[in-house]
Amino acid sequence: MVSICSKSSNAPSSRTGNSPPRAPPSSSFPNANGSRRVNHREDGLHVFGSILKKIEDSLHLVGCLGLIAVVALINADILLRLFFNHPVQFQFELTELYLMPALATLSVSRVFRDGGHLALDFIPELPGQIGRWIRFTRLILPAAFFGAVTYMSGRFALHAFVNSDVEFGVVDWPLGWAYAVAPLGFGILALRLFHDAFAKEVRVPTD
**105-115: pLDDT as tens digits:** 999 999 999 98
Return the SS3 of 138: helix
pLDDT at 130: 83
Choose among 204, 203, 190, 199: nearest CA to 42: 199
Name the pairing type of β-strands 166-167 and 173-174.
antiparallel
- Tally of CA atoms within 13 A in the half-sphere of 96 that contains its CB: 9
- Per the document, the length of the chain is 207
Nearest C-alpha neighbor of 185 from the set 153, 156, 144, 160: 153
Q: Which residues of the chain have pLDDT under 70?
A: 1-39, 41, 121, 123, 200-207
- What are 50-87's pLDDT values in tens digits? 999 999 999 999 999 999 999 999 999 999 999 998 88
Per-domain boundaries in the chain: 36-198
Query: The pTM is what?
Result: 0.74
Q: What span, in angstroms and rounded, lies between the C-alpha atoms of 104 and 98?
A: 10
